Amino acid sequence: MNRRALFTSLLLHFYVGCCLGQEKSQVIDQDSIGIVLKADSPDQQRIRIENVGLDDAVFSFKLNGQFFKSTDDVIQAIQRFENAVDNEPIQQKTWRFVCASIAYNLPLVQNHWQQSPLILLNSIGYDKCGNQAELLAFLWRKLGFDTRIWSLKGHIVPEVFADGRWQMFDPSNQVYYLNQHGKVASVEELANTPALITNPVQKVSLNLNSVNKSILESVSHSNFLASIYASVDNNYVYSPNFLGDTSVTEFALRLPPAAVFDFPLFYPNLPQPKFRFLDYNSANARLKIPKNWIGQINLPLVIASIAGEGIIKVNDKKFVVGSADLNDYLTAFSEFNYRVEVDGSQGEIEIIYLINGSFSSLKTYNQLEVVGTNTRSLAVTIESLDSMYYLSQATSQLFTKNLTDLLFALESHNERLTKLIGKNKIRSWSDVSRKTAKMISFLNQVGYPVPIASELIVAKIAELERTMKPKFAVVFFEFLHEPRNFMLFVAFLCSHSADEINLLTKELLQKNKTK
């Protein structure tokens, strides 16, 4: 079957009509299509969009209602977001939307350009507590609420003024707390009564499918977090950085004839989250541009890599594709890399983008909505990832890289750490906690900060103590007597969940036994 016949059969097989949710007034020459795509193995498949026509197709797209053209578009999505309870307040629904859309992680880069609602939501998909708080406060302001952003001692949270009072919703810990009257508590109420955190009136659980849900809940109601709120001398309100609709261009893709755009893909060697905390919220999209096409691509997603042959300009800077200069520029992320002028006279060019893994993950049935020009020349299919990494393989590769990087830092201070940790002195979980804290403190001092918050380390150890069988724990402590094994354990803490550490340590002990 040729491409045109394939496309025709797709149109006959799937529903094609007006794209859901579009405004009535639109440019006359724009086409809009809505296609339902079935994925039999969602975590092992991708969406493939090919231009089988003779002219460029320029279009925006939504997958299952996600990927946004403007912050007004985001607000409409929040208003359509399904209520968790009857008459759920919009400020609470907005908090749930942010929790479901953005994962907590170390930021891609410390730069002001990424403090954009659309870049964060459509492309990066993860950030630290500060920018998550900023995003939530920004969306509240778009809805007409007054907001405050609090810097606490080691944490940042937003507040919204609703129903005549300040209310705190924490997006990174995915929690809010109730006061003695059953109302959502403010930061000041939590500072005055920390027991609202450690002994909550009612526990709030989002039931998001996060890999470390038990750890998240442990942190949310920990003495450590309560002490952060209670340290009132360090708490202050600051002005927001997300000040407006910072979209730089329309969310639209130009797809040349014979070009292919597919997602989600998973490239473990490209920039990804520094450690795994919540669901895997980072993925990639790939744009394959055929030889001899010359033109400009302005899709507002962060570019992670460009390969192939030819000359390009990125943000008006000229590079040879495949050069070290281009790689250094892209991986520095000193500015928002998205504007590309392509001269493909020498060969095919491939652009890899960062795309929000939460938005791009497939379900069994997927609604793809496309609006633009020449969209009826698009052939859309669900295909296997083929040589691409499955989600599980990608996370495995990511873990390996994390372990390698951290172990290298640990090994470079092997002798000093041996003296610091000591040998044959680990007999209990309290010993494990104490020596882990020493090691992390030491690494921070020598310029290698551990890429995970200390409270999460504490929570993971507590979870291990709770779940590991006592007989196995005795053997595990013996294994940790050797300093290098203890270093490996700390590396695991930085990139694995407690359940995964249980499995990995069992494997290591088994290998150690067979030797």
Most confident of 20-24, 226-230, 266-270: 226-230
Q: Mutual orientation of helices 213-220 and 223-230 as an angle, nearest 10°?
A: 40
Please determine, for residue 402, whether its predicted confidence score (pLDDT) is greater than 50. Answer: no
- Look up the CATH architecture of domain 71-238: Roll (3.10)
pLDDT tens, residue by residue, 106-155: 778 777 888 899 999 999 998 888 999 999 999 999 999 999 999 997 89
Q: Are 193 and 172 in contact (CB under 8 A)?
A: no
Percentages helix, strand, coil for the chain, rounded to the nearest 5? 40, 20, 40
- 26: pLDDT confidence band, cut at 50, 70 and 90? very low
> Mean pLDDT throughout 57-62?
95
Please provide the DSSP assignment of 461-505 as one string.
Answer: HHHHHHHS-HHHHHHHHHHHTSHHHHHHHHHHHHHS-HHHHHHHH
pLDDT tens, residue by residue, 463-503: 888 888 888 888 888 878 777 677 777 777 766 666 666 66
> Mean pLDDT throughout 266-271?
67
Please provide the DSSP assignment of 326-374 as one string.
Answer: HHHHHHHT-S----EEEE-SSS-EEEEEEEEHHHH---SEEEEEEEEES
Q: Are 55 and 258 in contact (CB under 8 A)?
A: no
218 or 209, which is more confident? Answer: 218
Task: Give me the pLDDT at residue 451, please.
Answer: 57
280 or 448, which is more confident? Answer: 448
Task: Give me the pLDDT at residue 471, please.
Answer: 81
- Domain range list for the chain: 3-59+248-386, 71-238, 393-514
Q: Which of 232, 225, 132, 219 is nearest to 191 (CA)?
A: 232
Q: What is the pTM of this model?
A: 0.71
| Backbone angles phi and psi of 275, in degrees to 5 | -155, 165
Task: Give me the pLDDT at residue 483, please.
Answer: 72
Please determine, for residue 419, whether its predicted confidence score (pLDDT) is greater than 90. Answer: no
490 or 49, which is more confident? Answer: 49
Please determine, for residue 158, whether its predicted confidence score (pLDDT) is greater than 70. Answer: yes
- 342: pLDDT confidence band, cut at 50, 70 and 90? very high
